Amino acid sequence: MPFVGLVHLAIAAFFAIHAVRSGQPSYWLFVLFAFPLLGSIVYVFAIYLPQLRYTRGGMRAARAVQSLVDPDRELREAGGEFDRTPTAYNRARLGAALLAQGDADEAIGHYRAAASGPYANDASFLEGLAQAELAGGRPADAAATLERLFAAHPGQRRGALAIAHAEALAGAGSGEARSAFEAVVANDASTEARYKYGAFLLGRGDELGARRAFETVLRDAERGHFHSRELNREWIAQSKAELKRMDA
């Protein structure tokens, strides 16, 4: 078989493995191997690229490309919109753009102004403010902002916000941090929550508890679906790395 044919088959095999792992219909295997080059091209545009957009790596790649092509575009557009129409929404958008550029202090100022007056309890503005305060090294302020958000919107005390609250308490040296992490894991039990709980315990010298948390991450990953492993690749990899360091 010519070398080019072998290359086409190797590419088809790569996408066939992806199809099986991601639970695609079996007819894709026929398409890939019956039409090695054409089938692979169709699979890339029909399945592979659309899925890649929703993976952590794919989203990072998209952001990286945008930042290389025009790194200041969102900041420029957000600033222009705010100058034309200085609404609370446009101020918050500008705060988000500043935060993405690493200017946490200025972002905090904009978010604080947005989350005031009639919008003092706006969930999205308070969430942005807490993120900016965490990024700016103000964990105590972030914890207070999130508690203000939870008081106004009790249903928001879950997922990423609950994790951020526990991290803010830990960063502020609060004695409530451990109970906050335990509540997150009890109510959420996501891969990210378990990893961050393990990292918190390891930082507090509880190696046994940290090991249990990291091992749970890896066990769940083995039982989980392909999409789940892709979504949580970062936390799985870090759990493996922490266990390796602990065993060294």
- Residue 49: the pLDDT is 63
Give residue 65's pLDDT band: very low, low, confident or very high (50, 70, 90): very low
pLDDT higher than threshold 70 for residue 152: yes
pLDDT tens per residue across span 213-224: 999 999 999 988
Kindly report the number of other CB atoms within 10 A of residue 175's CB atom: 7
Cβ–Cβ < 8 Å for 216, 224: no
Cβ–Cβ < 8 Å for 172, 204: no
- Of residues 206 and 11, which shows the higher confidence score? 206
Query: Could you give phi then psi for residue 245, rounded to 5 degrees?
Result: -65, -40
Q: What percent of the chain has pLDDT over 70?
A: 87
- Of residues 44 and 197, which shows the higher confidence score? 197
- Residue 66: the pLDDT is 54
Q: Report the C-alpha gap between 29 and 64 in whole angstroms.
A: 32
Cβ–Cβ < 8 Å for 145, 132: no
Tokens 């290359």 -> residue: 7
Give residue 62's pLDDT band: very low, low, confident or very high (50, 70, 90): very low
pLDDT tens per residue across span 97-140: 999 999 999 999 999 999 999 999 999 999 999 999 999 999 99
Q: Report the C-alpha gap between 41 and 180 in whole angstroms.
A: 48
Q: Report the C-alpha gap between 32 and 123 in whole angstroms.
A: 47
Q: Report the C-alpha gap between 206 and 114 in whole angstroms.
A: 40
Distance between alpha carbon 244 and the CA centroid of its chain, in Å? Answer: 24
Q: Report the C-alpha gap between 111 and 38 in whole angstroms.
A: 50
DSSP single-letter state for residue 103: -
pLDDT tens per residue across span 134-151: 999 999 999 999 999 999
Kindly report the number of other CB atoms within 10 A of residue 72's CB atom: 11
Question: 142-146, 169-173, 188-192, 210-214: which has the minimum mean pLDDT?
Answer: 188-192
- Per-domain residue ranges for the chain? 3-52
Question: 2-11, 54-63, 73-82: which has the minimum mean pLDDT?
Answer: 54-63
Average pLDDT across the chain, whole number = 87
